[in-house]
Structure formats: C-alpha cells, structure tokens
Amino acid sequence: MRALFVIDVQNDFTEGGSLAVAGGAAVAAGITGYLRAHARDYDAVFASRDWHDAANDNGGHFATDAAPDFVTTWPSHCVAGTPGAEYHPALDASLIDINVRKGQGKPAYSIFEGTTDDGSTVEQKLSELGVTDVDIVGIATDYCVRASAIDALHSHRRVRVLTDLIAGVAPDSSAAALTELRLAGATVVAANGE
C-alpha cells in the first residue's frame, strides 16, 4: 500500500505569503497535475498544514521578542483560520483524502507531529491502511519535507522524495537535506523517474 504526503502547500509558504518559498506556487500546480495523472498509484493522499495559534508564540516558534533567526524562530505564519493557513489555490484539495494539522501551539515540522481531522495520528492512519511505501512532495525541502521524510523512514517505511514537486527555502540547505535523506535510505528521484 502506497501513500502520498503533500507537505504544507499553503498560501503563507508560497509567493506572496509571510514565509514565501520561491517556486511554491509552481509546486502546488505540479502536485495537482501529478495527482490527476497518478491517482491510481496511491491508496491514500495525506496533506499537512501548519495550523498555528494566533494568541501565543507557539512554543517559541514565532519570533516575538527579537528578529526571527529563520532556523528555529520564524515570523508569524499559517495562523489557524487565516487565508495564509489555507491550501494554495493551485492545489486541488478535492484530491486529498486525509487532512493533517500540525503546530497548534508548538513547533512542528514533520507531518507525523500532526493530527487528522478525527484526532488520529498519522502513524495510526498509516498502520490502519497498511501503508508500506510513502512518496513525499511539497514545501519546504529543507524543513518540513525533510522532517517528514526522516520520520517516515524511522517508521520503517520505504520513502521516495519527488524532487520536481518540492521547493526549498535555500539552495544549499535543500541540497544538504536531499543528501541526508539519500544517506538515510530514501529514494530521491523526479516524479517522472528521471
């Protein structure tokens, strides 16, 4: 059984958002096209969203007393219920089977740190479905895509990161993340296999 993880394809992480990643909108559109062409390849499509609290610093995740360091502290982003937290409009949300919200008052990078709409963990859902293989796409290569892939590997599943359907914060850290994932056992390949 194979699942697709669509990581954080949200307005705040795409062009014009509070933590915009270059190429984010193109990734959103690319994922939609890929899913329409490959829906039968997946038994379930999971999509994560940062879903941070508005009234606090989310466990130090939001920089409030100093400028963000863009490593562990960030500008306010993906606040629950705001347009910035919504899926990018180029991502066809009707293709998503399981929505996952992460953050919610604390730092959270991996999809495994979130919960589904019914309160389940991602691990619980994967186990219920008998998922053995996970493909990963989305934003950002060097943060939430990386963390989600590492956790998927730690859950003893086969993992592929589809390089033409991801976008990263910075070229160097994105390249380092992909190298780390290869060394950890992930397959890092374009969606078309090239």
Tens digit of each residue's pLDDT, the chain (194 residues) = 999 999 999 999 999 998 899 999 999 999 999 999 998 999 999 999 999 878 787 787 787 877 877 778 777 788 889 999 999 999 999 999 999 999 887 888 999 999 999 999 999 999 999 999 999 999 999 999 999 999 999 999 999 999 999 999 999 999 999 999 999 999 999 987 65
Q: Using CA atoms, how far apart are residues 119 and 181, in angstroms rounded to an integer?
A: 29
Q: Catalytic residue among 50, 78, 102, 151, which?
A: 102
pTM for this structure? Answer: 0.93
Catalytic-residue membership of 125: no
Active site residue 106: no
User: Among residues 12, 135, 142, 144, which one is catalytic?
Assistant: 144
144 is an active site residue: yes
- CB crowding 62-93: b at 16 or more within 10 Å, else e: bbeeeebeeeebbebbbbeebebbebbebbee
Domains of the chain in sequence order: 2-189 (3.40.50.850)
